[in-house]
Structure formats: C-alpha cells, structure tokens
Chains A and B, each alone.
Chain A
Amino acid sequence: MASKFLQSIHVPHLKNTQDSRPGRLTDVKTVTIPMSMHIGAPAKPVVKAGDHVKIGQLIGEPGGFVSAPVHASVSGTVKRIDDIRLSNGGTCQAVTIESDGLLEFDEHLAPPVITDFDSFIQAVRDSGAVGLGGAGFPTSVKLKVDPARVEYMLVNGAECEPYITSDTHTMVDNPYRIYAGLTALKRFYPDAHIIIGIENNKTTAIGIMRRYTDHVDKCDVCELPASYPQGGEKVLIYNTTGRIVPEGKLPIDVGCIVLNATTLSFIGKYLMTGQPLTTKCITVDGSAVKEPKNVIAFIGTSVRDVAEFAGGLKEEPKKVLYGGPMMGLSMPDMDQPVLKNTNALLFMGEADAVLPEPTACIRCGRCLDACPLKLMPTEMEHACENRDIERLKKLKVNLCMECGSCAYVCPAKRNLVESHKLAKQLLREAGVR
C-alpha cells in the first residue's frame, strides 16, 4: 500500500444544516412517484387511475431482477399514470396520487418475518431499498451474494459533498436504526468485518456510532480525512481496507460490499416496522433558499413544495440540483419529484448558478493531483477532443467516476467531467467495454 489514503481535494464544507433538526413535510396535495428511481428495469404499475391507496401500499412491482418495488407515499386516490421526463433525460411511467390528507398507513404493513438468508434478502427487496447515497442500485441485488465472499461490509457515512448533512442526521438522530441494520448484517454475514467510514470533522456522528458499536465484535468506525471524495465507492474501499477494485469488477470481487449509512438505517427501520421506503430525509440548501434545513419529505413530493417548506426562496433559482454541487444533477424545472435516492436539493441563485467560461488549458497538472484514481484528466480531455479512441482506452477514461475533483480545481475552468462523460460514450459507441 503506497499511502493510506488516496489523493483528494479540499472543497468548502458548507454544512449549514448540520445542527438543525429535520422538519417533516406532510402537507402535500399530490405526489408524483416515478417507476424508475433505481438502476435497472423500471417497476411496473399495479394500480390504476381511481384506485384508493394507503401509505406503504405497493404501486409498482419490480420489472426484473435488477429492479425495486415502489410504494405509495401518501394515502389518497390515484389520479393518473402517465409518462414523465426525468432529470437524467429518460422517460418513465409515474403514478400521481392525490392525497386525502389523512396519511393513513396500509393496515397490512407488518415487520417482515425473517428466518433465513433468503427471507432477509426478500425483505430487503420488498422494502424498496435502493442505494440512497445517490446511485440508486437495488440493495437486495447487491446483498444477494454468497455471505462467505463478504469480508468487509462497509457503511458509507462519509458524506463528502458540500452542503449535504442528511446522512449525518440519519446517524445522529436515528442511530438505533443503523444498529438494527448492523445486527441483521452480523447475523447474515457473520464473517464480514463491518467498517463505518465517517469524515473526521463529523465528530458527533463518529461519537454516536462508536457508542453504538463499541461492544459489537468486528465492527469499527473508521475516521476518514475530511476531504473530497471520501464517499466515492472505490475511494472508501481503498481508504478503509487498502483494497483496489480492478477495472470492470465490482466491490464484491474484492470481498467488499458498500452500503450507504442511510440505506442501512432504512433497512434497520424496515426490519423493525415493515414500513417500506416512502419518505426521505433531504438537505435543502443553496444560495436561493431562505432557511436551509433538512426536510423529511414523501417520495414524489414536488421540488417546489419542498422549497416552500424550507421558508420559500429568496430569489427565483437559476439552477436546481438533485444532490450535492460536486456530482449533483441539474433539473429542468421545479415540478420534478423527490426521488428515493434524493439526498439533497440545492437551489442556486443568480450568483453561483452560472459557471465561469472555460479558458485554455495551461497544463498545470492540478487535475492529476486531484484525481483520486490517478487518471490524467487533461490528457483524457485532449484525446476526447481528437476523438482518439485508442488513446482514451490507454488513458482508462472508463475508470473515471465523474467525481468532479479535476474540474473543481482546474484554474482554466475546463468542463472536464463533461468531456469525460463524452469520452466514455465514445468508448461505448466504439464497442469498448
């Protein structure tokens, strides 16, 4: 191991919301719940317009193995099922429910009966759990491996993106849920060493997690440097275990499974209550927001309603993001819904919405020092401009996780991530895996 931690960069923390208690947004008229809030096949709607649904009722069943079910987040009447355009550019079916204001839970909900590994996996699948850190990969698919292969179970509580504090709140406010999740992991992956990775500036979360896990055998809290991108999957694996995920392989191929802290917390909650994933704790922040705060919102709540709940907006936002400023996705309008994997909504005002114009690369090499994976961003951009497939292959642009560190540090303000995305697309079109 050359060095204990991979190279990283310092980004402003801007954790304005870390000390405020999350507020619960319950007063919503309608929710629009997309059938595709995860990686894999979209869910298939199992309700029709006019049906009455209650909270936690199944409204979309998994559309394949790599898929996840979707549940009603409010009680009320299904108004329509139609196609909506998501922020990532894709189109999918969405169920729009008009709330009856009663917020009634489905009376059939009950803690799952778990007898063996298969029933545990089934429970995780039924819960609707997906990677809540942002990736949205169905959790049950990730967990459905031979337990003997799992040497490390890594809990990602790094939360390295600026602004976002929702994972920290999950760890600080509901540690018992994480504990319940850890207990289940210990039971079904007895050989796995559990490591909870948290950036060392989140002292409260570290303290609480330590207290909850002190007596647990083979379970540690690992303090990570407070620098970006500690929460990147490959970065976390290397920084906690020293292992390197080879090109084209998955973490499980090096004996690791990485679960986001909020995902684990949700699984713990589901095992105790049987309530599927219908709400999400979201950090609402950005220069256009009056009162930055964490909001627990129903999945499907419109972004506009969430903004209203956070004291409204100071100015009409010029850019609205799902997620943090480093990797977040900008959305076309504020009618977009809160998704399962939404961990933050950032409303950026005039001042910070417009990015500086790129100027010529001066070959300072800062991007090389920033890249946690030791790629050569400036060379990749150059090769991409030249449409040089062979060179892009050689430079391993396919390994890029689009963390944005290179573009962040670039003094010439080059749009490097944009270029890397394009380069990966070029490789795909050229049939390179």
Chain B
Amino acid sequence: MSRQILSVSPHIRSARTTRSIMLDVIIAMLPALAASAILFGMRAVYLTVISSGVCVLLEFLWEKLLKKPVTVQDLSAVVTGMLVAFNVPVSMPIWMLVVGDIAAIILVKQLFGGLGCNFVNPALVGRLVMMFSFATAMTTFTGSSGIVDAAVSATPLADPASYGWDSFFTLFLGAHGGAIGETCALAIILGGVYLCVRKVIKPIIPLCFIGSCLLFTFLFGGAHPVLQVFEGGLLCGAFFMATDYVTSPITDWGKVIFGVFIGFVTAVIRVFGNYPEGVTFAILFGNVLVPYINELTMTKPLGAIIPEKKKKEAAS
C-alpha cells in the first residue's frame, strides 16, 4: 500500500510566484523602453537587452561557480539588467555598461547572498559605480538616431532655471536629454499604473516620494518644483527603484516614512547639492535605513499584550 505525502498546511498555494512578479515588472518597463527607442533610437533597446543578458549570464556563472542552485529563471536578473541600462545614456559604451552590471549582480546581489539578501538596490549601485568611474560617458546625453537632438547635452535639471512651463509637454513626453529609461514621464507612469493595477506594488512609496520631493523642493525654493517631478530619474526611481521589495520597508507605515524620507533627500540634493540628480543617492540612503524603519513600524498584532503586562502575568 502506497503511503501518502505528509506536509504541513496550507496544501494549496496562490498562482503568484516570484517569477510572475518579475515578469510583471518587466512588462511595466516596456513602455519606457519603447519610448526610449523612439526618442534615442534602437541602440537604447540593444543596450537594455545586452545589459539584461549580461546580468542573467553573470548570475548563472556565479551560481555555477559556487555550486549554488541556479535561480536565473526567477527573472530578477533580467529586471536588474534592464534597470541598469535604464540608468545610462544611449551613447554609453557597452563595456562600461557591463561594469555596471557586474557591480549590480556580483557586488551587491550575489556577494550578499542572492535574491532577497541585498540591502541596497543593485541597479542603483551599478549606476553609482558607473557614475564615479565614467563620469563623462554617464553625463553625455546625445541622441544617436532618435528624435532627441544631438545638441541637447545635459538634462534640464542641470539648469532648471532656463526651463519654463512651455516645455512641460516636451518633458512629459521625454523629448530631452537623459538616461534611457528616465526621460518619458508618460511611459513611466503607464508602467507604474500597470504595477499598481496588477498589485505588484502599492502606490504608497511612489506617491509619498514624489509628493515629498515636490513639497520640499518648493519649501527649499528650488526652481519649478512641478517640472522637476517629470524630469530626471525621479519617476523612474519612484516606480521602479524605490519600490524594490527587498530594499524597501515591508510595513505600510514604513513605506510612508521611506517615501517621504527619500523625497526629502532628493530635494535637498537637487536644491543644495552639487549633483543635479539626487534620486540615486536618496534611494540608496533610504535602503540602508530600511531595517530600522521596519523595526520602528512593527505592526501591533490583534490582541497582543504589551510586554510589561505580560511579565506580570508570567510571574503570577
């Protein structure tokens, strides 16, 4: 007589898997990718595909090398690769992009134990490494064959004062210099809405981040706070980077604190700092604080008794 499988309940599981979530994130990034193809030409797409491929390959090789189970099928490396590419200008030499991928996958993700164990966003560290190593290449925003004029050399953020309301639509549609995945606000918002509708992310972090950045830029007297929202890495960061599960708080109140905090830091850097773009630093800064934010916002379970009371009960 055959024996039955014994297992602990529950004996059914939802259809949602890590892979399906990552697939949704990839789908959400496609509008931005399509926009970049139109704005900057097909090289933007090639770079994104290459970056994803390199990330998957790196993860695969690393796991093989260390004789760990291969986890590339969860698609998280594809997401990381796409995000790294989204952070570079279309003219970026491929080998430099690969350096960013190595930093993201090996340095940040795998060295800390793989998916779920990294404490900062891999793609953003990839960006940071490239920013410090290849400062010129990272800030040369020239279109190759797209509609963005090769003459556009810097992001509008570098000189926000020169921008007026008439350029709002240019900004919203992304027809200006910038990193591949960052310029088209419309496409990014489309992707963000998709993520929210599919319940992949909650809108808490993006809304708090954008709202607080807007508020603090205004309070600090930064130029055109509303325009700044639609420019640079803010939207891309808010929807695709700051919402990274692993490096954002798990509680709802934690997400609020996190969003407001990185919005504040972004505004500070944008208004007072030397870098025109503060999103990368702000999110990385926020990432580091996540364990503390989680601790601070621990939920109060239903019926839980506060420790002092409990000790008394145990004593009696």
Contacts and interface: CB of A to CB of B under 8 A. Distances in A.
A329 B9 CA distance: 7
A399 B302 contact: yes
Contacts of B67: none
Contact of B314 (A246, A399, A404, A433): A433
A352 B13 CA distance: 10
Interface stretch (A21-29, A207-215, A415-423): A415-423
B164 interface: no
Interface residues of B, number: 43
B21 interface: yes
Contacts, number: 164
Contact of A363 (B1, B7, B245, B313): B245
A364 B20 CA distance: 13
A34 to B, nearest CB: 19
A409 B14 contact: yes
Contacts of A92: none
Interface residues of A, number: 70
B108 to A, nearest CB: 15
Contacts of B310: 247
Nearest to B113: A360
A413 interface: yes
B133 interface: no
A265 interface: no
A141 interface: no
A378 B303 CA distance: 20
A29 B18 CA distance: 50
Interface string B1-43: 1111111111111101110110000000000000000000000
Given A363-B246, A364-B21, A411-B17, A373 B4 contact: no
Interface string B253-292: 0000000000000000000000000000000000000000
B136 interface: no
Most buried by B among A249, A372, A373: A373
B5 A408 contact: no
B5 A411 contact: no
Interface string B234-248: 000000000001100
A430 to B, nearest CB: 12
B9 A412 contact: no
Interface string B66-86: 000001001010000000000
Interface string B143-187: 000000000000000000000000000000000000000000000
Interface of A: 6, 11-12, 162, 234, 238, 244-249, 316-321, 325-334, 346, 348, 352-356, 359-366, 368, 372-376, 378-379, 394-396, 399, 402, 404, 407-413, 415, 417-418, 421, 432-433
